[in-house]
Amino acid sequence: MTEADLDRIEHALGFPLPASYRRFMVEYPRWLLDRQPAWHDPVTEWDFADDPGRVIEFNRFVRDQEPGTFFDDIPWPDDYLVIGNEADQNYYLIDRLSGEETVYRWSHEDGRLQVVAGSLPEFRDNLCLWFEEWNRSAEQDDG
């Protein structure tokens, strides 16, 4: 992502992005595409979006839903910046106001947040581990 892409996100969503997110995204690891299973939708458009249009789309969608859709009786918290989407069901997010880089996963199954990484680089690394596990599992199923 370029600085102009990040500015576009800020303008579209109406709030500043965390500095840590901006720093990471200008050096986004495009090689994640090479690590993901062949059958997986592009990680750059889903799990860890590198497309400003997708980041805007994800964030507008969750903010446009009725209160209670994601969290009991409240709208999507303004503090949360969606950075990815898992199978159009679960959302990866960071708390844009906390100053922390923790990555959470909101689960459609129970409506709760789960910590999936302590930082954006750790999230990237965890994605690689998950991809390796999925590839091994697919190889075992085929063999």
Summarised one tens digit per residue, pLDDT across range 45-98 is 999 999 999 999 999 999 999 999 999 889 999 999 999 999 888 999 999 999
pTM score, whole prediction: 0.91
Name residues whose C-beta falls within 8 Å of residue 7's C-beta, 6 or more positions apart in sequence: none
* Cβ-contact 95, 84 below 8 angstroms: no
Per-residue CA distances from 37 to 29, 49, 129 (Å): 16, 16, 11
Sketch out the chain's domains with CATH numbers. Answer: 3-142 (3.40.1580)
- Count H helices, E strands: the chain? 5, 4
Q: Inform me whether the pLDDT recorded for 143 exceeds 70.
A: no
